[in-house]
Amino acid sequence: MNNQRQTSRRAPTAETVRRRTTPRSRAGNAIRMRLIIGLVVAAFSFFSFISKREVNPTTGEVQYISLTREQEITMGLQAVPQMVQQHGGLDPDPEAQALLDMVGERLVRNSFAVTSEYPFEFTLLADEEVINAFALPGGQTFITAALFNRLETEAQLAGVMGHEIGHVIARHGAQRIAKQELTEGLTGAVVMAACDGGTSCQGTARMAQMIGGMVNMKYGREDELESDELGLAIMVDSSYDPSAMTRVMEILAEAGGGARQPEFMSTHPDPGNRIQRIEEFVQENFPEGIPADFTR
Ligand SMILES: [Zn+2]
pLDDT tens digits for range 125-148: 999 998 889 998 899 999 999 999
Q: What is the average pLDDT across 271-279?
A: 86
CA of 27 to the centre of ligand 1 (A): 51
CB 233 within 8 A of CB 277: no
Residue 86's alpha-carbon distances to 151, 173, 267, in angstroms, are 22, 19, 17
Name the more confident of 115 and 58.
Answer: 115
β-strand pairing of 140-144 with 53-55: unpaired
CA 283/CA 253 separation, integer angstroms: 22
CA of 217 to the centre of ligand 1 (A): 10
**9 pLDDT exceeds 70?**
no
CA of 219 to the centre of ligand 1 (A): 7
**212 pLDDT exceeds 80?**
no
**pTM score:** 0.74
CB 295 within 8 A of CB 243: no
CA of 1 to the centre of ligand 1 (A): 72
CA 265/CA 160 separation, integer angstroms: 13
Residues in Cβ contact with 208 at an 8 Å cutoff, skipping those fewer than 6 apart: none
* Per-residue model confidence as pLDDT tens digits over 60-117: 887 777 678 888 898 888 889 888 998 999 999 999 999 999 999 999 999 999 999 8
Name the more confident of 9 and 265.
Answer: 265
CA of 164 to the centre of ligand 1 (A): 6
CA of 10 to the centre of ligand 1 (A): 65
CA of 167 to the centre of ligand 1 (A): 7
Sign of CA dihedral 240, 242, 245, 247: negative
